[in-house]
Amino acid sequence: MSSGTQSDKLSALTLSVSSSPLHCQKQLDALMNMARKKSRNDAVQAIAALKDLLIGNLLPNRKLVYFGKQASLSSKSTDEELILWTFEDWLKGWYFQVLQVIEGLSTDSLPFVRNHMISYIFELLRDKPEQEQLLLRLLVNKLV
Protein backbone atom coordinates (compact mmCIF):
# COMPACT_ATOMS: atom_id res chain seq x y z
CA MET A 1 0.00 0.00 0.00
CA SER A 2 2.95 2.32 0.42
CA SER A 3 5.18 1.39 -2.52
CA GLY A 4 4.67 0.57 -6.16
CA THR A 5 2.75 2.32 -8.88
CA GLN A 6 -0.30 4.47 -8.33
CA SER A 7 -2.52 1.71 -9.70
CA ASP A 8 -0.98 -0.85 -7.35
CA LYS A 9 -1.52 1.39 -4.35
CA LEU A 10 -5.12 2.11 -5.37
CA SER A 11 -5.83 -1.58 -5.83
CA ALA A 12 -4.31 -2.55 -2.50
CA LEU A 13 -6.13 0.20 -0.60
CA THR A 14 -9.43 -0.55 -2.33
CA LEU A 15 -9.15 -4.26 -1.58
CA SER A 16 -8.32 -3.55 2.04
CA VAL A 17 -11.28 -1.21 2.46
CA SER A 18 -13.75 -3.49 0.70
CA SER A 19 -12.77 -6.43 2.91
CA SER A 20 -13.52 -4.56 6.15
CA PRO A 21 -14.71 -0.94 5.80
CA LEU A 22 -15.22 -0.51 9.53
CA HIS A 23 -11.53 -1.01 10.26
CA CYS A 24 -10.04 1.00 7.39
CA GLN A 25 -10.27 4.67 8.26
CA LYS A 26 -6.53 5.13 7.65
CA GLN A 27 -6.80 3.51 4.24
CA LEU A 28 -9.77 5.71 3.35
CA ASP A 29 -7.76 8.76 4.39
CA ALA A 30 -4.87 7.54 2.21
CA LEU A 31 -7.27 7.27 -0.75
CA MET A 32 -8.50 10.78 0.01
CA ASN A 33 -4.91 12.07 -0.02
CA MET A 34 -4.40 10.43 -3.42
CA ALA A 35 -7.50 12.23 -4.69
CA ARG A 36 -6.03 15.55 -3.55
CA LYS A 37 -2.82 15.10 -5.55
CA LYS A 38 -1.81 17.69 -8.11
CA SER A 39 -1.56 15.06 -10.83
CA ARG A 40 -4.94 15.17 -12.52
CA ASN A 41 -4.79 11.58 -13.77
CA ASP A 42 -3.92 10.26 -10.29
CA ALA A 43 -6.71 12.32 -8.75
CA VAL A 44 -9.28 11.07 -11.27
CA GLN A 45 -8.21 7.45 -10.67
CA ALA A 46 -8.44 7.90 -6.90
CA ILE A 47 -11.88 9.53 -7.13
CA ALA A 48 -13.06 6.68 -9.37
CA ALA A 49 -11.90 4.15 -6.76
CA LEU A 50 -13.57 6.15 -3.97
CA LYS A 51 -16.80 6.40 -5.94
CA ASP A 52 -16.85 2.64 -6.49
CA LEU A 53 -16.20 2.00 -2.80
CA LEU A 54 -18.86 4.46 -1.71
CA ILE A 55 -21.51 2.98 -3.98
CA GLY A 56 -20.54 -0.65 -3.50
CA ASN A 57 -19.33 -0.96 0.08
CA LEU A 58 -19.52 2.12 2.26
CA LEU A 59 -22.79 3.98 1.87
CA PRO A 60 -26.04 2.33 2.95
CA ASN A 61 -29.27 2.69 0.97
CA ARG A 62 -30.40 5.37 3.40
CA LYS A 63 -28.99 8.65 4.60
CA LEU A 64 -26.20 8.53 7.17
CA VAL A 65 -27.00 9.77 10.67
CA TYR A 66 -24.70 11.66 13.03
CA PHE A 67 -23.91 9.88 16.29
CA GLY A 68 -25.81 12.36 18.44
CA LYS A 69 -28.98 11.97 16.39
CA GLN A 70 -29.28 8.19 16.49
CA ALA A 71 -32.91 7.53 17.35
CA SER A 72 -32.31 4.66 19.72
CA LEU A 73 -29.32 6.12 21.57
CA SER A 74 -29.88 4.95 25.11
CA SER A 75 -28.28 2.94 27.87
CA LYS A 76 -29.58 -0.21 26.17
CA SER A 77 -27.31 0.27 23.15
CA THR A 78 -24.85 -2.52 22.59
CA ASP A 79 -21.15 -2.01 22.02
CA GLU A 80 -21.59 -3.12 18.40
CA GLU A 81 -24.25 -0.47 17.80
CA LEU A 82 -22.08 2.21 19.35
CA ILE A 83 -19.13 1.20 17.16
CA LEU A 84 -21.29 1.26 14.03
CA TRP A 85 -22.78 4.63 14.97
CA THR A 86 -19.32 6.06 15.57
CA PHE A 87 -18.14 4.83 12.17
CA GLU A 88 -21.29 6.17 10.50
CA ASP A 89 -20.69 9.57 12.10
CA TRP A 90 -17.09 9.59 10.87
CA LEU A 91 -18.15 8.41 7.40
CA LYS A 92 -20.70 11.23 7.08
CA GLY A 93 -18.00 13.86 7.63
CA TRP A 94 -15.47 12.04 5.47
CA TYR A 95 -17.97 11.71 2.59
CA PHE A 96 -18.53 15.47 2.68
CA GLN A 97 -14.76 15.93 2.27
CA VAL A 98 -14.82 13.59 -0.75
CA LEU A 99 -17.54 15.72 -2.30
CA GLN A 100 -15.48 18.85 -1.70
CA VAL A 101 -12.58 17.27 -3.61
CA ILE A 102 -14.95 16.27 -6.43
CA GLU A 103 -16.36 19.81 -6.49
CA GLY A 104 -12.87 21.24 -6.80
CA LEU A 105 -11.98 18.89 -9.63
CA SER A 106 -15.26 19.62 -11.41
CA THR A 107 -14.01 23.16 -12.02
CA ASP A 108 -10.74 21.97 -13.58
CA SER A 109 -9.66 23.54 -16.85
CA LEU A 110 -9.37 20.18 -18.62
CA PRO A 111 -12.62 18.79 -20.05
CA PHE A 112 -11.41 15.23 -19.34
CA VAL A 113 -11.35 15.85 -15.60
CA ARG A 114 -14.58 17.88 -15.55
CA ASN A 115 -16.49 15.25 -17.53
CA HIS A 116 -15.35 12.46 -15.24
CA MET A 117 -16.38 14.42 -12.15
CA ILE A 118 -19.81 15.16 -13.63
CA SER A 119 -20.38 11.48 -14.36
CA TYR A 120 -19.23 10.54 -10.81
CA ILE A 121 -21.57 13.14 -9.31
CA PHE A 122 -24.44 11.72 -11.35
CA GLU A 123 -23.66 8.13 -10.33
CA LEU A 124 -23.50 9.03 -6.64
CA LEU A 125 -26.76 10.96 -6.90
CA ARG A 126 -28.47 8.13 -8.77
CA ASP A 127 -27.29 5.26 -6.55
CA LYS A 128 -27.09 6.64 -3.00
CA PRO A 129 -29.25 9.27 -1.23
CA GLU A 130 -26.48 10.72 0.97
CA GLN A 131 -25.82 14.47 0.44
CA GLU A 132 -28.33 14.54 -2.41
CA GLN A 133 -28.91 18.29 -2.19
CA LEU A 134 -25.19 19.02 -2.57
CA LEU A 135 -24.84 16.51 -5.42
CA LEU A 136 -27.87 17.93 -7.19
CA ARG A 137 -26.56 21.48 -6.79
CA LEU A 138 -23.17 20.45 -8.22
CA LEU A 139 -24.79 18.68 -11.15
CA VAL A 140 -27.21 21.51 -11.98
CA ASN A 141 -24.42 24.10 -11.79
CA LYS A 142 -22.39 22.09 -14.30
CA LEU A 143 -25.30 21.74 -16.71
CA VAL A 144 -26.27 25.42 -16.65
- Whether residue 16 lies inside any domain: the answer is yes
Residue 2 reports pLDDT greater than 80: no
Cα separation of 112 and 40, whole Å? 9
Count up the domains in the chain and report the number.
Answer: 1
pLDDT, average across residues 22-34: 94
- Whether residue 91 lies inside any domain: the answer is yes
Q: Give the model's pLDDT for residue 141.
A: 87
- Cβ atoms of 138 and 122 within 8 Å: the answer is no
- Whether residue 135 lies inside any domain: the answer is yes
Residue 144 reports pLDDT greater than 80: no
Domain that holds residue 68: 6-143
Q: Give the model's pLDDT for residue 74.
A: 64
Q: Give the model's pLDDT for residue 75.
A: 64
Which of the four pLDDT bands, split at 50, 70 and 90, describes residue 86?
A: very high
Per-residue DSSP letter, 109? S
- Whether residue 134 lies inside any domain: the answer is yes
- Whether residue 1 lies inside any domain: the answer is no
- Whether residue 88 lies inside any domain: the answer is yes
Q: Give the model's pLDDT for residue 71.
A: 63
Residue 57 reports pLDDT greater than 80: yes
Task: Please tell me the pTM assigned to this model.
Answer: 0.90
Residue 73 reports pLDDT greater than 70: no
Burial of 75 (0-12, 13-18, 19+ CB in 10 A): exposed
pLDDT, average across residues 43-63: 95
pLDDT, average across residues 120-137: 94
- Whether residue 93 lies inside any domain: the answer is yes
- Whether residue 14 lies inside any domain: the answer is yes
pLDDT tens figures, 109-128: 999 999 999 999 999 999 99
- Cβ atoms of 102 and 121 within 8 Å: the answer is yes
